Structure 1
Amino acid sequence: MTIARAWLGTPYHDQASVKGVGCDCLGLARGVWREVVGPEPYPIPPYSRDWGETGPREVLAEGARGMMIEVPPAEAGPGALILFRMMPRAIAKHVGILTRPHCFIHAYERLGVIEEPLTPSWRRRIAFAFLFPQR
């Protein structure tokens, strides 16, 4: 959690991943990956900002499965990467990192990287959870 908290206050910047300069939610996860695990295994292609995007594939979850350890969301603890489905029937498009059982860090447009309570509204949107692998 110390590594993720070091990103607090980083301004929001779509598709960026530079601590203290700018990142989006995926950029936050990518930056934490680099500090915890090492170099990113492959480049991230451009992606849409549409939280209501639908489709047959959970692209974000599929990518995480290729690099991380999937766990049931109810079993995710501090340090777990959580993927949110922001709208019913949409694919998961938002990412956060649990810091305590009821708090998480994420990058949010206009607010940047913040830590906030995992309220019931946020909790019911969790679609997937993953653990970072060991270095």
Structure 2
Amino acid sequence: MESRHVSVVVHRPPDEVYAFAAEPDNLARWAAGLASSEVTREGDALVVAGPMGEVRVVFAERNAYGVLDHAVTTPDGTTTYNPLRAVPHPDGTEVVFSVRQLAMTDEELERDAGLVRADLERLRELLEG
């Protein structure tokens, strides 16, 4: 099993990037690979419709370290842990998402990494205006 660490540098302060990315109401604006609809809340979980169907997403509690890790539970009950960080960078903030291969083929891993890159680029575009 391999991982791909996909990152972009956003020319905005880390606290601003983190606050935007951690806000559930912004999820559909930048994370098209996960959410394509408004977010509803069920306790600590966010419920969104997206490319995988209706999924439940539980983010790490808000924190001062830029940790945006989240667990995604798909309709078949499979839960995947997704590491996501917004860390200080000399030019602003580096947003890093670790894509894990798990049961994917090499081609599927590369496709998923490309989708994540597109989401992170959209995040950058939104924040840099």
TM-score > 0.5, shorter chain as reference: no
Greater per-residue strand proportion: 2
Length-normalised TM-score, structure 1:
0.30
Length-normalised TM-score, structure 2:
0.31
